[in-house]
Structure 1
Amino acid sequence: MAPAEAALRSFAYALVILLAAHWFYLVQETVPEPYLDEVFHVRQAKNYVQGRWNVWDPKITTPPGLYLWSYLIALPQQAFEFGPIHTTFFRVTNLGGALLLPWVVLNILFSLAKIDDKNESSNANSVVSWSAAELVHAAVNICLFPPLFFFYGLYYTDVLSAFTVLVAYRRYLDNEHEFWIFLSGVISLLFRQTNSIWVSVFLGGLAFCRSIRKGRPDVELSNQPTFREMLQASWKHALAYDPPISEACFEDYINSGVSFAVAGAADLSTALWPLTPYFILLYTFAWFVYWNGGIVLGDKENHVVSIHLAQMLYVWPSFIFFSLPLLYPYIVNIAIPSTLLPEASRISSARSRWPRAFLAIPTLAVMTAIAHYNTLVHPFTLADNRHYTFYIFRILLRHPAIKYLAVPIYFLCAWAAIAALGGQQVKKAPSQASPQHLASSKKTTRNTDASKVQSPPLLPSGSRVSFVLVWLLATTASLVSTPLVEPRYFIVPWLIWRLNIAPIRLNDTTRAASTPSISNNSDWQSIETVKGIFYKWHDHRLWLETLWFLLIDAATGYIFLNCGFEWPQEPGKVQRFMW
């Protein structure tokens, strides 16, 4: 690691730790006693620290990972009898998890970038990649994500739950031994039940796609095969059709899913053997559900499993709200005709990949049907005016037509969020070799005439279709089983999505392909060079994202600390607004 890169990483750690510690201090000074669900969490943690392992609070629905973590940290204090343990101590143990987040986020971002350089990942095509300075900047932004940052100061499960999922993801990206991936998955299950989806379905799905792509390195699936050619190649050669998102149409998502399924069936041993640890994790969770008689541990009456497909409508405007600085170029390129936009502000893949009418209309119809038949409102949502979702649903339910008018917004938000994973197609630099649009191999399966293999004027970037399919499957499985809508439930889906966002260079697309690679240490030999990287190649959206997150964190923090109110039924007790 070059000195300048090490200095930037250290600065990122210090900045996140400073901001998290400051927020923790403000909360502790203003709200020293347990607040809301902290009452149950702190009480349960005290039972474990005091050795009462047979006591379980019936109001707690999540596994005991948070309390076990605090118990381990409390061992030295208990051994030397430093005195009673108060709420502050338990909040500090949770803050410890927050201070580890920059480490795992940075490692994931650099692992993704390195894999991208080698063009080996399920979501890699390394024509355009983030610079190291941008990766460090993105890591800071991710740690400032408002629904996550807010809980740095409270004793909730969300921070450590997200951290353990990211640790498992990092181990997968680094190709660590299956045992360590399995162990990380088991630890993650101790913090939240839905983590089972992310450490088994999501990572297992990525492992399946990777095993298919690496199965036949001696043959190639052509760039734009017909459906029949794709099926033949998938069955005869176990190949999968997996185009970059920036080049994919709606049909490509269907074709890719079918292609991977057929390729897996054609070579079961290659496809399934790497999935062993993920199957064991999924079986472990299934056994727990059977033993427990349900997903949640306590309060089963108010947390009944249900099919709530509307969750997959709400997740998209949530992403747009928090990540507007990242997604606004895609929205602008759709809302405004390209002829009215400056050339430097056009994303070449945006309008050309906009869903066509014969596909958009059925999708909107399905979304409308979900809004009509499956809009579930949990009693807790409208009974507790301390949460922001209370006010959102008050608006949605104000008039019967509002939930239908929101459907086009869901559709546009979903398109923008997925398009951002693909980045943009950028102008080809004269010195670059023509890219090969490969599904997973190196020898063509059909003949093409010379006119069809000329160097394309644009190069793809960002994730591939298979990553979107796996991520969508995991997100759906983790959300649709709960009728309660909370921003906290969107934290892990957002983190995985945000970690895989592709860069764009609206100010100079011709320079995008020459962005410094993180593997090129010569880019990091001096601070002067780092300054050049920040100003010459830095994606401007990162600065906007930093400002946006700081504004939201400051606003929600101020409201929580200074805008308390009282309920008539609980006089003298301060109620506070929170996520």
Structure 2
Amino acid sequence: MAALSLSILSESLQAVSGFQRILSSLTLATFPTLYFFTFLYYTDTGSVFFTLFAYLMCLYGNHKASALLGFCAFMFRQTNIVWTVFCAGNVVAEKLNEAWKTELLKKKDERISSMRTSFSDLTLITRFLIEYLISPKNLITLIALTWPYIVLVTAFFVFVFINGGIVVGDRSSHEACLHFPQLFYFLSFTLFFSFPHLLTPAKIRKFLQSLRRHRVQYILIAAISLFLIWKFTYVHKYLLADNRHYTFYVWRKIFQRHELVKYVLVPAYIFAGWSFVDTIKSKSIFWILMYFVCLLSVTVPQKLLEFRYFILPFLIYRLNIPFPPVHRQLVELAFYTVVNAITFYLFLNKTFQWPNSVEIQRFMW
């Protein structure tokens, strides 16, 4: 199911040949974190399928079907309501981009691009957004386009009110908090699994050039990052106690090496963030803003560092980057295959027991 939805999405998002589409869908279907849980009784496969199917229907303009599929995704995992908002935001971003292009043509200002923006352009974009969204005519148009999503989101808030929160299961283990470093972990995760596209000599050179041109901005970003790590780093009890998962060993082998390690990694986070944004710069500024709002919404409130939470934001990002050359996709596919082979080997052959349990424990994502 996942491979089929990924294949159709690849075709819908970008004009590619049959071979490229098949290769792309095969690569993303073997994305290690998702691929592993495809063989277990977990919610991830259904969650990913219905969310991507909803996104596909949104791209086809069938918003009623998209909202219905978004409801199915919500039933698998409540945080998927964010990706329903993403689908609605995709519609809004498209209308905003059309209006923005019209505005630029009126002003004949060729210095500003509807597809790329600098810090100096943010004031103009903010002003444009305010003017556009306070217009009753524009609001009516947007509501008419997105009402199925609005109905679903309204139902979600009713559910939260009746349920007393978003969590259905063990609430004590799913406490919401402002865990801003989760964004840094996601960017690192994305850099690791997309290194053929993000970690190239050309990108490194381009980043260094950007670093030289905008030193003050990068110093400010580094200072903010250090502050967020200092004040908002949380360590969930499961992360320290459950040694069946990769995150346990990542935390113990890297972050617990020394108190300063989490701060030393800031330059790597900044590069990962820059490379991430540079790869999706072909999208409109409104799409990028909308995606990052959704990304922050699904990562930052999570106290537990869990790679499964990164599956959907990663796949949506990966589906929306410019189509990579075939040789990079082949490297990516080979890398995923090796990671999957190692993971399955550990799961099947490196079993162990906990002192207080007779059950066999296995390594897993």
> What TM-score does the superposition give when structure 2 sets the normalisation length?
0.91
Aligned to 2:315: 495
Structure 2, unmatched stretches of 5+, are none
Does residue 279 (structure 1) correspond to residue 150 (structure 2)? The answer is yes
Q: Determine the C-alpha separation between the residues in 2 that align with 1:216 and 1:319.
A: 30
2:22 to 136, 152, 158: 136
SS at match of 1:206: helix
Question: What pairs up with 1:444-523 in 2 under 5 angstroms?
Answer: 462-503=282-323
Q: Determine the C-alpha separation between the residues in 2 that align with 1:277 and 1:469.
A: 22
SS at match of 1:376: coil
Aligned to 2:245: 387
SS at match of 2:177: coil
Question: What pairs up with 1:116-131 in 2 under 5 angstroms?
Answer: 130-131=16-17
CA apart distance, 1:262: 3.0
Aligned to 2:330: 543
Does residue 407 (structure 1) correspond to residue 290 (structure 2)? The answer is no
Contact 2:14–2:323 (CA under 8 A) maintained in structure 1 = no
CA shift in 2, pair 1:187/1:335, >3 Å: closer
Aligned to 2:53: 167
Contact 2:101–2:114 (CA under 8 A) maintained in structure 1 = no
Question: Which of the two has higher C-alpha Rg?
Answer: 1
SS at match of 1:498: helix
SS at match of 2:14: helix
Q: Determine the C-alpha separation between the residues in 1 that align with 2:156 and 2:17.
A: 39
Query: Over aligned residues, Cα RMSD in angstroms?
Result: 2.3
Structure in which a larger fraction of residues adopt helix: 2
SS at match of 2:78: coil
CA apart distance, 1:303: 1.4
CA apart distance, 1:209: 1.6
Deviations 1:402-439 (CA, angstroms, capped at 9, x unpaired): 111011111111111121223xxxxxxxxxxxxxxxxx
CA apart distance, 1:257: 5.0
CA shift in 2, pair 1:103/1:257, >3 Å: farther
Amino acid at match of 2:65: W
Q: Determine the C-alpha separation between the residues in 2 that align with 1:256 and 1:133.
A: 39
Q: Determine the C-alpha separation between the residues in 2 that align with 1:167 and 1:295.
A: 23
CA apart distance, 1:192: 0.5
Aligned to 1:210: 94
Amino acid at match of 1:566: Q
CA apart distance, 1:365: 1.1
Aligned to 2:346: 559
Question: What pairs up with 1:113-512 in 2 under 5 angstroms?
Answer: 113=14, 130-176=16-62, 178-200=63-85, 202-214=86-98, 220=105, 243-245=114-116, 248-252=117-121, 255-256=124-125, 258-266=127-135, 267-329=138-200, 332-336=201-205, 356-394=214-252, 395-422=254-281, 462-503=282-323
Amino acid at match of 2:159: F
Deviations 1:514-557 (CA, angstroms, capped at 9, x unpaired): xxxxxxxxxxxxxxxxxxxxxxxx53211111111001111111
Q: Determine the C-alpha separation between the residues in 1 that align with 2:113 and 2:133.
A: 14
Amino acid at match of 1:270: T
Contact 1:368–1:407 (CA under 8 A) maintained in structure 2 = yes
Q: Determine the C-alpha separation between the residues in 1 that align with 2:173 and 2:101.
A: 52
Deviations 1:220-279 (CA, angstroms, capped at 9, x unpaired): 2567567xxxxxxxxxxxxxx76334xx43444665455334322233323343222222
Moved more, 178-187 or 469-478: 178-187
Q: Determine the C-alpha separation between the residues in 2 that align with 1:281 and 1:358.
A: 43
Amino acid at match of 2:12: S
Deviations 1:316-349 (CA, angstroms, capped at 9, x unpaired): 00001111112122xx23544xxxxxxxxxxxx7
Q: Determine the C-alpha separation between the residues in 2 that align with 1:198 and 1:417.
A: 19
> What TM-score does the superposition give when structure 1 sets the normalisation length?
0.59
Contact 1:197–1:478 (CA under 8 A) maintained in structure 2 = yes
Q: Determine the C-alpha separation between the residues in 2 that align with 1:487 and 1:501.
A: 21
CA shift in 2, pair 1:254/1:147, >3 Å: farther
Contact 1:387–1:577 (CA under 8 A) maintained in structure 2 = yes
Amino acid at match of 2:140: S
CA apart distance, 1:213: 3.6
CA apart distance, 1:136: 2.1
